[in-house]
Chain A
Amino acid sequence: MINLQAVSKRYPGGSDVLAGVDLQIAGGEMVVMLGPSGAGKSTLLKLMGGIERASAGTVELFGQDTARLDPGRLALVRQQIGLIFEDFKLLADRSALDNVMVPLEIAGYSLAEARRRARAALEKVGLGAREKARPASLSGGEQQRLCIARAVVSRPALILADEPTGNLDAGQAASIADMLRAFHAVGTTVVVATHDPVFRDRLQGRAVHVEAGAVRATDTAANRKGVTR
Protein backbone atom coordinates (compact mmCIF):
# COMPACT_ATOMS: atom_id res chain seq x y z
CA MET A 1 0.00 0.00 0.00
CA ILE A 2 2.84 2.39 0.90
CA ASN A 3 6.27 2.05 -0.65
CA LEU A 4 9.08 4.51 0.12
CA GLN A 5 12.31 4.04 -1.82
CA ALA A 6 15.48 6.02 -0.96
CA VAL A 7 13.36 8.95 0.15
CA SER A 8 15.02 12.17 1.25
CA LYS A 9 13.44 15.42 2.29
CA ARG A 10 15.10 18.77 2.65
CA TYR A 11 13.17 21.97 3.31
CA PRO A 12 14.42 25.12 1.57
CA GLY A 13 17.32 26.61 3.50
CA GLY A 14 17.45 23.72 5.96
CA SER A 15 19.29 20.46 6.45
CA ASP A 16 18.01 16.99 5.51
CA VAL A 17 14.95 16.03 7.57
CA LEU A 18 14.95 12.56 6.02
CA ALA A 19 17.80 10.83 4.23
CA GLY A 20 17.55 7.65 2.16
CA VAL A 21 14.49 6.15 3.86
CA ASP A 22 13.22 2.78 2.62
CA LEU A 23 9.94 1.62 4.09
CA GLN A 24 7.14 -0.67 2.94
CA ILE A 25 3.74 -0.91 4.58
CA ALA A 26 1.30 -3.56 3.43
CA GLY A 27 -2.47 -3.18 3.28
CA GLY A 28 -4.18 -3.94 6.61
CA GLU A 29 -1.04 -3.36 8.68
CA MET A 30 -0.85 -1.43 11.94
CA VAL A 31 2.45 0.51 12.01
CA VAL A 32 3.69 2.66 14.86
CA MET A 33 6.51 5.08 14.09
CA LEU A 34 8.51 5.80 17.19
CA GLY A 35 11.18 8.37 17.80
CA PRO A 36 12.00 11.60 19.58
CA SER A 37 10.64 14.98 18.53
CA GLY A 38 12.33 16.21 15.35
CA ALA A 39 13.31 12.70 14.25
CA GLY A 40 11.30 13.04 11.01
CA LYS A 41 8.15 11.04 11.90
CA SER A 42 5.73 13.80 10.96
CA THR A 43 7.55 14.46 7.69
CA LEU A 44 7.33 10.75 6.87
CA LEU A 45 3.58 10.84 7.52
CA LYS A 46 3.19 13.94 5.34
CA LEU A 47 5.02 12.19 2.50
CA MET A 48 2.81 9.12 2.94
CA GLY A 49 -0.28 11.32 2.81
CA GLY A 50 0.85 13.17 -0.32
CA ILE A 51 0.92 16.40 1.69
CA GLU A 52 4.63 16.96 1.05
CA ARG A 53 6.78 15.95 -1.91
CA ALA A 54 10.07 14.11 -1.46
CA SER A 55 13.26 15.94 -2.45
CA ALA A 56 14.65 12.64 -3.75
CA GLY A 57 13.46 9.05 -4.04
CA THR A 58 9.96 7.77 -4.75
CA VAL A 59 6.83 7.62 -2.64
CA GLU A 60 4.22 5.19 -3.92
CA LEU A 61 0.76 5.29 -2.45
CA PHE A 62 -1.88 2.78 -3.52
CA GLY A 63 0.57 1.81 -6.29
CA GLN A 64 0.89 5.36 -7.64
CA ASP A 65 3.99 7.55 -7.56
CA THR A 66 2.74 10.66 -5.77
CA ALA A 67 5.32 12.89 -7.51
CA ARG A 68 3.76 12.08 -10.88
CA LEU A 69 0.18 12.81 -9.87
CA ASP A 70 -1.47 16.05 -10.98
CA PRO A 71 -3.32 18.03 -8.27
CA GLY A 72 -6.69 16.54 -9.24
CA ARG A 73 -5.49 12.92 -9.03
CA LEU A 74 -3.60 13.68 -5.82
CA ALA A 75 -6.84 15.04 -4.32
CA LEU A 76 -8.58 11.76 -5.20
CA VAL A 77 -5.78 9.79 -3.51
CA ARG A 78 -6.08 11.97 -0.41
CA GLN A 79 -9.79 11.19 -0.22
CA GLN A 80 -8.82 7.58 0.50
CA ILE A 81 -6.78 8.65 3.54
CA GLY A 82 -8.08 9.57 6.99
CA LEU A 83 -5.84 12.13 8.70
CA ILE A 84 -5.64 12.53 12.48
CA PHE A 85 -3.67 15.53 13.73
CA GLU A 86 -2.11 16.28 17.11
CA ASP A 87 -3.67 19.77 17.01
CA PHE A 88 -6.98 18.32 15.71
CA LYS A 89 -7.37 20.93 12.91
CA LEU A 90 -11.12 21.31 13.41
CA LEU A 91 -13.20 24.08 11.85
CA ALA A 92 -13.92 26.36 14.79
CA ASP A 93 -17.03 28.03 13.33
CA ARG A 94 -18.80 24.77 12.52
CA SER A 95 -20.58 22.26 14.71
CA ALA A 96 -19.17 18.80 15.47
CA LEU A 97 -21.60 17.30 12.95
CA ASP A 98 -20.59 19.79 10.24
CA ASN A 99 -16.92 19.07 10.88
CA VAL A 100 -17.44 15.36 10.37
CA MET A 101 -19.49 16.00 7.24
CA VAL A 102 -16.64 17.80 5.45
CA PRO A 103 -14.96 14.70 3.90
CA LEU A 104 -18.37 13.42 2.78
CA GLU A 105 -19.20 16.75 1.13
CA ILE A 106 -15.86 16.58 -0.66
CA ALA A 107 -16.66 13.04 -1.80
CA GLY A 108 -19.96 14.31 -3.22
CA TYR A 109 -22.50 12.69 -0.88
CA SER A 110 -25.95 14.23 -0.71
CA LEU A 111 -26.61 16.36 2.34
CA ALA A 112 -29.00 13.82 3.88
CA GLU A 113 -26.63 10.88 3.37
CA ALA A 114 -23.64 12.88 4.63
CA ARG A 115 -25.60 13.80 7.77
CA ARG A 116 -26.63 10.20 8.37
CA ARG A 117 -23.08 8.88 8.02
CA ALA A 118 -21.59 11.69 10.09
CA ARG A 119 -24.05 10.98 12.92
CA ALA A 120 -23.09 7.30 12.82
CA ALA A 121 -19.39 8.21 13.01
CA LEU A 122 -20.02 10.53 15.97
CA GLU A 123 -21.91 7.72 17.72
CA LYS A 124 -18.96 5.39 17.11
CA VAL A 125 -16.53 7.72 18.89
CA GLY A 126 -18.99 8.48 21.69
CA LEU A 127 -19.92 12.01 20.65
CA GLY A 128 -23.48 11.32 19.48
CA ALA A 129 -24.92 13.69 22.05
CA ARG A 130 -22.53 16.53 21.16
CA GLU A 131 -23.25 16.91 17.45
CA LYS A 132 -24.27 20.54 17.76
CA ALA A 133 -21.32 21.55 19.92
CA ARG A 134 -18.61 23.79 18.52
CA PRO A 135 -15.04 22.43 18.86
CA ALA A 136 -14.10 25.11 21.39
CA SER A 137 -16.73 23.81 23.81
CA LEU A 138 -15.32 20.24 23.70
CA SER A 139 -12.52 18.86 25.90
CA GLY A 140 -9.15 17.86 24.39
CA GLY A 141 -10.12 14.19 24.37
CA GLU A 142 -13.48 14.97 22.75
CA GLN A 143 -11.80 17.11 20.11
CA GLN A 144 -9.42 14.28 19.29
CA ARG A 145 -12.33 11.85 19.04
CA LEU A 146 -14.09 14.34 16.77
CA CYS A 147 -10.95 14.45 14.64
CA ILE A 148 -10.99 10.63 14.49
CA ALA A 149 -14.66 10.60 13.52
CA ARG A 150 -13.85 12.97 10.65
CA ALA A 151 -10.91 10.76 9.62
CA VAL A 152 -12.95 7.54 9.47
CA VAL A 153 -16.34 8.80 8.31
CA SER A 154 -15.65 8.16 4.64
CA ARG A 155 -14.26 4.67 5.43
CA PRO A 156 -10.72 5.36 4.20
CA ALA A 157 -8.34 2.56 3.26
CA LEU A 158 -5.54 4.23 5.21
CA ILE A 159 -5.47 6.18 8.47
CA LEU A 160 -2.44 8.38 9.21
CA ALA A 161 -2.28 9.67 12.77
CA ASP A 162 0.34 12.20 13.87
CA GLU A 163 0.85 12.21 17.65
CA PRO A 164 -2.86 11.59 18.26
CA THR A 165 -2.41 11.56 22.04
CA GLY A 166 0.01 14.46 22.33
CA ASN A 167 -2.45 16.64 24.25
CA LEU A 168 -4.33 13.93 26.13
CA ASP A 169 -4.07 12.27 29.53
CA ALA A 170 -3.39 8.53 29.92
CA GLY A 171 -7.06 7.52 30.11
CA GLN A 172 -7.99 9.43 26.97
CA ALA A 173 -4.89 8.07 25.18
CA ALA A 174 -5.98 4.51 26.00
CA SER A 175 -9.43 5.21 24.60
CA ILE A 176 -7.92 6.60 21.36
CA ALA A 177 -5.66 3.52 21.07
CA ASP A 178 -8.66 1.22 21.43
CA MET A 179 -10.48 3.11 18.68
CA LEU A 180 -7.54 2.86 16.29
CA ARG A 181 -7.26 -0.86 17.03
CA ALA A 182 -10.95 -1.27 16.29
CA PHE A 183 -10.53 0.35 12.85
CA HIS A 184 -7.45 -1.78 12.20
CA ALA A 185 -9.43 -4.88 13.15
CA VAL A 186 -11.85 -4.30 10.25
CA GLY A 187 -9.00 -4.17 7.71
CA THR A 188 -8.00 -0.49 7.68
CA THR A 189 -4.27 0.21 7.38
CA VAL A 190 -3.22 2.40 10.31
CA VAL A 191 0.06 4.32 10.57
CA VAL A 192 0.65 6.21 13.80
CA ALA A 193 3.54 8.53 14.68
CA THR A 194 4.15 8.84 18.43
CA HIS A 195 6.91 9.32 20.94
CA ASP A 196 4.86 7.65 23.67
CA PRO A 197 5.98 4.00 24.28
CA VAL A 198 2.89 3.28 26.42
CA PHE A 199 0.61 4.28 23.58
CA ARG A 200 2.70 2.12 21.23
CA ASP A 201 2.35 -0.89 23.56
CA ARG A 202 -1.40 -0.43 23.63
CA LEU A 203 -1.62 -0.31 19.82
CA GLN A 204 0.40 -3.55 19.42
CA GLY A 205 1.49 -2.88 15.82
CA ARG A 206 4.77 -3.10 13.93
CA ALA A 207 7.16 -0.54 15.35
CA VAL A 208 9.32 1.56 13.07
CA HIS A 209 12.10 3.46 14.83
CA VAL A 210 12.93 6.79 13.28
CA GLU A 211 16.01 8.69 14.39
CA ALA A 212 17.75 11.68 12.87
CA GLY A 213 15.87 11.36 9.61
CA ALA A 214 16.48 7.64 9.06
CA VAL A 215 14.63 4.39 9.80
CA ARG A 216 16.89 2.56 12.26
CA ALA A 217 14.95 -0.64 12.92
CA THR A 218 11.52 -2.19 12.69
CA ASP A 219 10.05 -4.82 14.95
CA THR A 220 6.71 -6.37 15.79
CA ALA A 221 4.85 -6.58 19.07
CA ALA A 222 6.12 -10.13 19.39
CA ASN A 223 9.85 -9.42 19.14
CA ARG A 224 10.18 -5.76 20.19
CA LYS A 225 11.94 -6.62 23.45
CA GLY A 226 15.03 -7.62 21.42
CA VAL A 227 15.37 -4.32 19.58
CA THR A 228 17.85 -1.71 20.68
CA ARG A 229 16.30 1.76 20.66
Chain B
Amino acid sequence: MLTFIARRIIAGVFLLFVISALSYVLLSLPGADVGRSLLGQSASAEAVAAKNQQLGLDRPVIVQYGDWLLHALRGDFGSSWFTSENVLTSISNRLPVTISVMAGVTIVTAVLSFLLGIWAAVRGGWIDRAVQIVSVVGYALPGFLITLILVIVFAVQLRWFPAIGYIDASVSLSGWLSTITLPIIALSIPAIAGVVQQVRGSVKDVLNRDYVRTLRARGLGPNRILFRHVMRNASAPALTVLGMQFVGLLGGAVIVEQIFGLPGIGSMTVSYTTRGDIPIIMGLIMFTVVGVILINLLIDVVIGWLNPKARIAS
Protein backbone atom coordinates (compact mmCIF):
# COMPACT_ATOMS: atom_id res chain seq x y z
CA MET B 1 0.00 0.00 0.00
CA LEU B 2 2.76 2.44 0.92
CA THR B 3 4.76 1.73 -2.22
CA PHE B 4 1.55 2.16 -4.17
CA ILE B 5 0.96 5.59 -2.64
CA ALA B 6 4.60 6.53 -3.17
CA ARG B 7 4.45 5.52 -6.81
CA ARG B 8 1.27 7.47 -7.33
CA ILE B 9 2.79 10.56 -5.74
CA ILE B 10 5.86 10.32 -7.98
CA ALA B 11 3.64 9.89 -11.03
CA GLY B 12 1.63 12.89 -9.86
CA VAL B 13 4.70 15.07 -9.50
CA PHE B 14 5.80 14.07 -12.97
CA LEU B 15 2.35 14.90 -14.31
CA LEU B 16 2.49 18.31 -12.62
CA PHE B 17 5.85 18.97 -14.21
CA VAL B 18 4.67 18.03 -17.70
CA ILE B 19 1.49 20.07 -17.38
CA SER B 20 3.34 23.10 -16.08
CA ALA B 21 5.86 22.96 -18.93
CA LEU B 22 3.16 22.49 -21.55
CA SER B 23 0.96 25.24 -20.19
CA TYR B 24 3.80 27.69 -19.84
CA VAL B 25 5.00 27.17 -23.39
CA LEU B 26 1.47 27.29 -24.80
CA LEU B 27 0.61 30.39 -22.82
CA SER B 28 3.71 32.17 -24.13
CA LEU B 29 3.24 31.07 -27.73
CA PRO B 30 1.21 33.82 -29.36
CA GLY B 31 3.72 36.39 -28.21
CA ALA B 32 1.10 38.90 -27.21
CA ASP B 33 2.75 42.14 -26.32
CA VAL B 34 2.17 42.12 -22.60
CA GLY B 35 4.03 45.35 -22.05
CA ARG B 36 1.81 47.09 -24.57
CA SER B 37 -1.42 45.84 -23.07
CA LEU B 38 -0.21 46.79 -19.61
CA LEU B 39 0.82 50.29 -20.46
CA GLY B 40 -1.87 51.07 -23.01
CA GLN B 41 -1.79 52.40 -26.54
CA SER B 42 -0.30 55.76 -25.67
CA ALA B 43 2.89 54.41 -24.13
CA SER B 44 6.10 54.84 -26.02
CA ALA B 45 7.85 51.89 -27.62
CA GLU B 46 10.79 52.33 -25.23
CA ALA B 47 8.56 52.20 -22.19
CA VAL B 48 6.89 49.02 -23.49
CA ALA B 49 10.27 47.41 -24.14
CA ALA B 50 11.43 48.40 -20.67
CA LYS B 51 8.31 46.93 -19.12
CA ASN B 52 8.79 43.67 -21.01
CA GLN B 53 12.39 43.56 -19.88
CA GLN B 54 11.35 44.20 -16.31
CA LEU B 55 8.97 41.23 -16.47
CA GLY B 56 11.66 39.12 -18.08
CA LEU B 57 9.64 38.69 -21.25
CA ASP B 58 12.56 39.50 -23.54
CA ARG B 59 14.18 36.17 -22.71
CA PRO B 60 13.53 32.89 -24.56
CA VAL B 61 10.44 30.99 -23.39
CA ILE B 62 12.51 28.07 -22.07
CA VAL B 63 14.49 30.40 -19.86
CA GLN B 64 11.31 32.05 -18.64
CA TYR B 65 9.83 28.69 -17.78
CA GLY B 66 13.00 27.52 -16.03
CA ASP B 67 12.98 30.69 -13.99
CA TRP B 68 9.30 30.18 -13.09
CA LEU B 69 9.90 26.53 -12.20
CA LEU B 70 12.86 27.31 -9.94
CA HIS B 71 10.82 29.88 -8.05
CA ALA B 72 7.73 27.67 -7.96
CA LEU B 73 9.73 24.82 -6.43
CA ARG B 74 10.59 27.18 -3.61
CA GLY B 75 6.93 28.06 -3.21
CA ASP B 76 7.21 31.41 -4.98
CA PHE B 77 4.69 31.68 -7.77
CA GLY B 78 5.47 35.30 -8.49
CA SER B 79 2.91 38.05 -8.72
CA SER B 80 0.30 39.15 -11.18
CA TRP B 81 1.55 41.19 -14.12
CA PHE B 82 -1.48 43.40 -14.03
CA THR B 83 -2.21 43.97 -10.35
CA SER B 84 1.14 42.91 -8.82
CA GLU B 85 -0.78 40.87 -6.27
CA ASN B 86 1.17 37.92 -4.95
CA VAL B 87 -0.16 34.83 -6.73
CA LEU B 88 0.00 32.57 -3.70
CA THR B 89 -1.72 35.05 -1.38
CA SER B 90 -4.53 35.82 -3.76
CA ILE B 91 -5.15 32.15 -4.47
CA SER B 92 -5.06 31.17 -0.82
CA ASN B 93 -7.41 34.03 0.03
CA ARG B 94 -9.96 32.60 -2.34
CA LEU B 95 -9.32 28.94 -1.72
CA PRO B 96 -11.54 28.53 1.38
CA VAL B 97 -14.61 29.60 -0.61
CA THR B 98 -14.06 27.06 -3.33
CA ILE B 99 -13.05 24.32 -0.93
CA SER B 100 -16.15 24.74 1.22
CA VAL B 101 -18.36 24.55 -1.85
CA MET B 102 -16.48 21.55 -3.25
CA ALA B 103 -16.49 19.69 0.05
CA GLY B 104 -20.21 20.31 0.42
CA VAL B 105 -20.87 19.10 -3.10
CA THR B 106 -18.76 15.97 -2.64
CA ILE B 107 -20.51 15.03 0.61
CA VAL B 108 -24.02 15.74 -0.72
CA THR B 109 -23.25 13.86 -3.95
CA ALA B 110 -21.74 10.84 -2.26
CA VAL B 111 -24.53 10.47 0.30
CA LEU B 112 -27.47 11.11 -2.00
CA SER B 113 -26.24 9.13 -4.97
CA PHE B 114 -25.46 6.09 -2.83
CA LEU B 115 -28.84 6.25 -1.11
CA LEU B 116 -30.78 6.75 -4.33
CA GLY B 117 -28.73 4.27 -6.31
CA ILE B 118 -29.12 1.49 -3.74
CA TRP B 119 -32.79 2.25 -3.36
CA ALA B 120 -33.36 2.07 -7.11
CA ALA B 121 -31.33 -1.12 -7.49
CA VAL B 122 -32.96 -2.99 -4.62
CA ARG B 123 -36.56 -1.91 -5.01
CA GLY B 124 -36.71 -1.80 -8.79
CA GLY B 125 -40.09 -0.96 -10.31
CA TRP B 126 -41.30 2.63 -10.48
CA ILE B 127 -38.73 3.91 -7.98
CA ASP B 128 -35.99 2.63 -10.23
CA ARG B 129 -37.57 4.24 -13.25
CA ALA B 130 -38.08 7.56 -11.46
CA VAL B 131 -34.46 7.66 -10.29
CA GLN B 132 -33.28 6.84 -13.79
CA ILE B 133 -35.36 9.55 -15.45
CA VAL B 134 -34.34 12.19 -12.92
CA SER B 135 -30.70 11.25 -13.34
CA VAL B 136 -30.81 11.39 -17.13
CA VAL B 137 -32.49 14.79 -17.03
CA GLY B 138 -30.02 16.05 -14.42
CA TYR B 139 -27.17 14.86 -16.60
CA ALA B 140 -28.65 16.27 -19.79
CA LEU B 141 -29.32 19.81 -18.63
CA PRO B 142 -26.25 22.02 -18.79
CA GLY B 143 -25.08 22.78 -15.28
CA PHE B 144 -25.36 26.52 -15.60
CA LEU B 145 -28.94 26.24 -16.78
CA ILE B 146 -29.79 24.35 -13.59
CA THR B 147 -28.00 27.06 -11.67
CA LEU B 148 -29.99 29.80 -13.38
CA ILE B 149 -33.25 27.99 -12.65
CA LEU B 150 -32.29 27.68 -9.00
CA VAL B 151 -31.44 31.37 -8.83
CA ILE B 152 -34.73 32.39 -10.40
CA VAL B 153 -36.86 30.12 -8.25
CA PHE B 154 -35.19 30.23 -4.84
CA ALA B 155 -33.40 33.56 -4.85
CA VAL B 156 -35.42 35.87 -7.11
CA GLN B 157 -38.95 34.52 -6.68
CA LEU B 158 -39.04 32.89 -3.26
CA ARG B 159 -36.18 34.94 -1.79
CA TRP B 160 -35.10 32.09 0.49
CA PHE B 161 -31.46 32.63 -0.28
CA PRO B 162 -29.43 35.60 -1.42
CA ALA B 163 -28.88 35.56 -5.18
CA ILE B 164 -25.38 36.81 -4.93
CA GLY B 165 -22.48 37.32 -2.55
CA TYR B 166 -20.54 35.43 0.05
CA ILE B 167 -20.36 35.64 3.82
CA ASP B 168 -17.39 34.01 5.50
CA ALA B 169 -18.07 31.37 8.14
CA SER B 170 -16.02 33.37 10.63
CA VAL B 171 -18.37 36.33 10.19
CA SER B 172 -21.69 34.51 10.39
CA LEU B 173 -22.25 30.80 10.25
CA SER B 174 -25.86 31.09 9.13
CA GLY B 175 -24.86 33.68 6.56
CA TRP B 176 -22.17 31.36 5.27
CA LEU B 177 -24.65 28.52 5.00
CA SER B 178 -27.20 30.67 3.21
CA THR B 179 -24.65 31.83 0.66
CA ILE B 180 -23.20 28.43 -0.16
CA THR B 181 -26.39 26.35 -0.13
CA LEU B 182 -27.60 27.21 -3.63
CA PRO B 183 -24.15 26.82 -5.22
CA ILE B 184 -23.80 23.43 -3.59
CA ILE B 185 -27.21 22.30 -4.80
CA ALA B 186 -26.49 23.62 -8.28
CA LEU B 187 -23.25 21.67 -8.56
CA SER B 188 -24.57 18.56 -6.85
CA ILE B 189 -27.45 17.90 -9.22
CA PRO B 190 -25.38 17.02 -12.30
CA ALA B 191 -22.81 15.20 -10.16
CA ILE B 192 -25.47 13.07 -8.47
CA ALA B 193 -27.01 12.35 -11.86
CA GLY B 194 -23.71 10.88 -13.03
CA VAL B 195 -22.83 8.91 -9.90
CA VAL B 196 -26.29 7.52 -9.12
CA GLN B 197 -26.34 5.60 -12.41
CA GLN B 198 -23.07 3.93 -11.57
CA VAL B 199 -24.17 3.08 -8.02
CA ARG B 200 -27.42 1.60 -9.29
CA GLY B 201 -25.64 -0.40 -11.99
CA SER B 202 -22.96 -1.84 -9.76
CA VAL B 203 -25.36 -2.65 -6.91
CA LYS B 204 -27.61 -4.50 -9.35
CA ASP B 205 -24.60 -6.30 -10.72
CA VAL B 206 -23.34 -7.38 -7.31
CA LEU B 207 -26.82 -8.49 -6.19
CA ASN B 208 -26.79 -11.04 -9.01
CA ARG B 209 -23.44 -12.48 -8.02
CA ASP B 210 -23.20 -16.08 -6.87
CA TYR B 211 -21.69 -15.20 -3.53
CA VAL B 212 -24.72 -13.14 -2.60
CA ARG B 213 -26.86 -16.24 -3.08
CA THR B 214 -24.44 -18.26 -0.99
CA LEU B 215 -24.54 -15.65 1.76
CA ARG B 216 -28.33 -15.85 1.73
CA ALA B 217 -28.06 -19.64 1.93
CA ARG B 218 -25.94 -19.22 5.05
CA GLY B 219 -28.85 -17.54 6.77
CA LEU B 220 -27.65 -13.91 6.66
CA GLY B 221 -30.38 -11.26 6.58
CA PRO B 222 -30.94 -9.04 3.54
CA ASN B 223 -29.82 -5.83 5.25
CA ARG B 224 -26.61 -7.35 6.45
CA ILE B 225 -25.86 -8.69 2.97
CA LEU B 226 -26.72 -5.36 1.36
CA PHE B 227 -24.79 -3.04 3.63
CA ARG B 228 -21.81 -5.23 4.37
CA HIS B 229 -21.18 -7.30 1.28
CA VAL B 230 -22.97 -5.64 -1.63
CA MET B 231 -22.01 -2.10 -0.67
CA ARG B 232 -18.37 -2.93 -0.28
CA ASN B 233 -18.15 -4.63 -3.63
CA ALA B 234 -20.25 -2.07 -5.46
CA SER B 235 -18.59 1.06 -4.14
CA ALA B 236 -15.27 0.81 -6.01
CA PRO B 237 -16.67 1.59 -9.48
CA ALA B 238 -18.98 4.18 -7.99
CA LEU B 239 -16.07 5.94 -6.31
CA THR B 240 -14.14 5.97 -9.58
CA VAL B 241 -16.99 7.83 -11.23
CA LEU B 242 -17.18 10.19 -8.27
CA GLY B 243 -13.52 11.01 -8.85
CA MET B 244 -14.14 11.71 -12.52
CA GLN B 245 -17.07 13.94 -11.62
CA PHE B 246 -14.74 15.96 -9.45
CA VAL B 247 -12.73 17.14 -12.45
CA GLY B 248 -15.96 18.26 -14.10
CA LEU B 249 -16.97 19.98 -10.89
CA LEU B 250 -13.96 22.27 -11.07
CA GLY B 251 -15.24 23.47 -14.42
CA GLY B 252 -18.74 23.82 -13.05
CA ALA B 253 -17.39 25.82 -10.11
CA VAL B 254 -16.14 28.46 -12.53
CA ILE B 255 -19.64 29.15 -13.77
CA VAL B 256 -21.40 28.74 -10.46
CA GLU B 257 -19.04 31.07 -8.66
CA GLN B 258 -19.50 33.59 -11.42
CA ILE B 259 -23.29 33.44 -11.22
CA PHE B 260 -23.44 33.65 -7.44
CA GLY B 261 -20.63 36.15 -7.20
CA LEU B 262 -18.59 33.94 -4.90
CA PRO B 263 -15.02 35.19 -4.46
CA GLY B 264 -13.47 31.77 -5.11
CA ILE B 265 -10.92 30.21 -7.43
CA GLY B 266 -13.48 29.80 -10.19
CA SER B 267 -14.43 33.45 -10.57
CA MET B 268 -10.76 34.33 -10.26
CA THR B 269 -10.04 32.03 -13.19
CA VAL B 270 -12.51 33.92 -15.35
CA SER B 271 -11.24 37.37 -14.58
CA TYR B 272 -7.53 36.65 -14.85
CA THR B 273 -7.31 34.18 -17.69
CA THR B 274 -9.08 36.50 -20.09
CA ARG B 275 -6.20 38.94 -19.70
CA GLY B 276 -3.43 36.40 -20.25
CA ASP B 277 -1.86 36.98 -16.85
CA ILE B 278 0.60 34.09 -17.02
CA PRO B 279 1.79 33.98 -13.36
CA ILE B 280 -1.79 33.86 -12.09
CA ILE B 281 -2.92 31.35 -14.73
CA MET B 282 0.02 29.09 -13.97
CA GLY B 283 -0.73 29.26 -10.27
CA LEU B 284 -4.37 28.39 -10.87
CA ILE B 285 -3.54 25.49 -13.16
CA MET B 286 -1.07 24.09 -10.66
CA PHE B 287 -3.58 24.33 -7.83
CA THR B 288 -6.40 22.66 -9.73
CA VAL B 289 -4.16 19.89 -11.03
CA VAL B 290 -2.81 19.22 -7.54
CA GLY B 291 -6.40 19.09 -6.30
CA VAL B 292 -7.38 16.62 -9.00
CA ILE B 293 -4.33 14.44 -8.34
CA LEU B 294 -4.97 14.41 -4.59
CA ILE B 295 -8.64 13.51 -4.97
CA ASN B 296 -7.84 10.68 -7.36
CA LEU B 297 -5.10 9.40 -5.07
CA LEU B 298 -7.51 9.47 -2.15
CA ILE B 299 -10.11 7.56 -4.12
CA ASP B 300 -7.58 4.96 -5.25
CA VAL B 301 -6.47 4.47 -1.66
CA VAL B 302 -10.07 3.98 -0.53
CA ILE B 303 -10.69 1.54 -3.39
CA GLY B 304 -7.55 -0.38 -2.49
CA TRP B 305 -8.75 -0.56 1.09
CA LEU B 306 -12.17 -1.81 0.01
CA ASN B 307 -10.98 -4.24 -2.62
CA PRO B 308 -8.08 -6.54 -1.78
CA LYS B 309 -7.58 -7.48 -5.42
CA ALA B 310 -6.89 -3.88 -6.47
CA ARG B 311 -4.48 -3.62 -3.56
CA ILE B 312 -2.39 -6.50 -4.91
CA ALA B 313 -2.67 -5.57 -8.57
CA SER B 314 -1.39 -2.05 -8.13
Please indicate whether A and B come from the same complex rather than being unrelated chains: no
